[in-house]
Amino acid sequence: MSRKIDLQVHELVKRFDAFTAVDRVSFDVHQGKFFSILGPSGCGKTTLLRMISGFIEPTAGTIAIRGRDMLGIPPNKRPVNLIFQHLALFPMMNVAENIAFGLRRRGERGAVITQKVESILERVGLPGYGDKQVHQLSGGQRQRVAIARSLVLEPAVLLLDEPLGALDLKLREQMKVELKTLQAQVGTTFIYITHDQSEALIMSDFVAVMNKGRFEQMDKPQNLYAKPATPFVASFVGDNNAWDGMVTGRENDRVTVQTQNGNTCHIRTDQKFAPGDKVRVFLRPEAMLIEPDASIPSLNRFQVVVRSILFNGANSSILVHPREGTGQEKELIVALPQNRQYDHVKKGDVLEIGWDEKSGICFAGD
């Protein structure tokens, strides 16, 4: 069964004089999905969101919400609601009054409001919180009240502009999980913008990676990580080792790449590289195996010296550099397995590293 489409954006462009902030962006979001737009500061995320919410007019392209063209429709008449980083709850009002505010402005009155406020508080997991003052709430509870205040207006789409940005690290971690759970519970379509890849990967059904006004890849979080479509996506989503090289041989899908330091490695790729092509190779830290079993074929192997240990609990890693080098090679990051079998590794140790030919990702270089 195909789900309905809540938001359709087609060939959307926004120019500010000669500068193109959003450049022919197209995407559909199906009902009930958590869709994130992930990109660095200045890539055009906020501009895109402001066009959807109606605060700025597109230079070209169309936006349709639930099949209705939004051209010329003012923000307050669009079936969307926007939540900012600063939640902007009214400090002088209690929780119920905060939530009722939009309903009153829309002309609703009396028992209908009371019933809607109670029901939405229930849905966001804050039953009975209506009488509390805003200052009595934790950061996470304020977040939920802000969402309740938007959801009570029953928008087709909820737009969230880096809503966790102002929270401290611990609360942000907790809220990532809470927001995802909340979205699944209420079933409203969320469009979430962030520059934080871990937020996007953890919470979303789909993520669009945006760079310089364009979408470079739109995919499930797992695919963005495993099969990045461009070098930008590979370097922006997750940690990666990257190096430049040149193709020196090819046999079916197996290319031989000589790195700038004169080392050779083999990579399986479905791209049609030929000898002489410049390439950029990406490799995830966890794809590097420490002291791999000598019997495993298809591994690129080399010796490294440990430069430093990056302890981070279960996600610890080491920085290494190739042993035979001049000392000028870029350091490589190698994830340590979670079973702590390498607790004894220390700076200066020489280790053998191996990585499977299939785990390298190869793009055309420049």
Q: Which residues, listed in sequence order, are joined to residue 62 by a DSSP beta bridge?
A: 10
CA angle 353–358–363, rounded 5-degree value: 100
How big is the CA angle at 275 (ends 272 and 276), to the nearest 5 degrees? 115
Residues in region 129-158 near ligand ATP by CB under 6 A: none
Residue 40 Cβ, how far from ligand ATP at the closest point, in Å?
7
**By CB under 6 A, how many residues form the interface with ligand ATP?**
12
Mark the segment that binds ligand ATP (CB under 6 A) among 13-21, 86-94, 132-140, 197-205: 13-21
Q: Does 12 bind ligand ATP (CB under 6 A)?
A: no
CB closer to ligand ATP, 16 vs 311: 16
Cβ neighbours of 50 (radius 10 Å): 18
**Cα dist from 180 to 110, 156, 201, 205, 216, whole Å:** 32, 17, 11, 10, 24
Using rule CB under 6 A, residue 311 touches ligand ATP: no
Closest CB to ligand ATP belongs to which residue?
46
Q: Out of 33, 45, 144, 280, which residue is the one contacting ligand ATP (CB under 6 A)?
A: 45
Q: Does 21 bind ligand ATP (CB under 6 A)?
A: yes
Q: Residues with Cβ < 8 Å from 160, sequence gap 6 or more?
A: 82, 83, 190, 191, 192, 193
Distance of CA 60 to the CA centre of its chain: 26
Which residue of 8, 47, 189, 241 would you call a contact of ligand ATP, by CB under 6 A?
47
| Contacting residue, 46, 143, 189, 269, with ligand ATP by CB under 6 A | 46
CA distance 279 to 347: 31
Answer yes or no whether residue 39 interacts with ligand ATP by CB under 6 A.
yes
**What are the backbone dihedrals phi and psi of residue 310, each rounded to the nearest 5 degrees, phi first?**
-105, 90
**Closer Cβ to ligand ATP, 53 or 317, answer by number:** 53
By CB under 6 A, name the one of 43, 126, 146, 281 that touches ligand ATP: 43
Q: List C-alpha distances in Å: 271 to 109, 242, 255, 268, 335.
A: 63, 18, 10, 9, 27
300 scored as a contact of ligand ATP (CB under 6 A): no
Instruction: Report if residue 228 touches ligand ATP, rule: CB under 6 A.
Output: no
Q: Stretches 44-52, 247-255, 295-303, 335-343: which one binds ligand ATP (CB under 6 A)? A: 44-52
Nearer to ligand ATP, 39 or 228 (CB): 39
Residue type, 234: A
Binding mask 191-210 for ligand ATP (x = CB under 6 A): ----x---------------
Which of 6, 36, 44, 130 is in the footprint of ligand ATP by CB under 6 A? 44
The string of DSSP letters for 266-287 reads EEE-SS---TT-EEEEEE-GGG
Q: Which residues bind ligand ATP (CB under 6 A)?
A: 16, 19, 21, 39, 41-47, 195
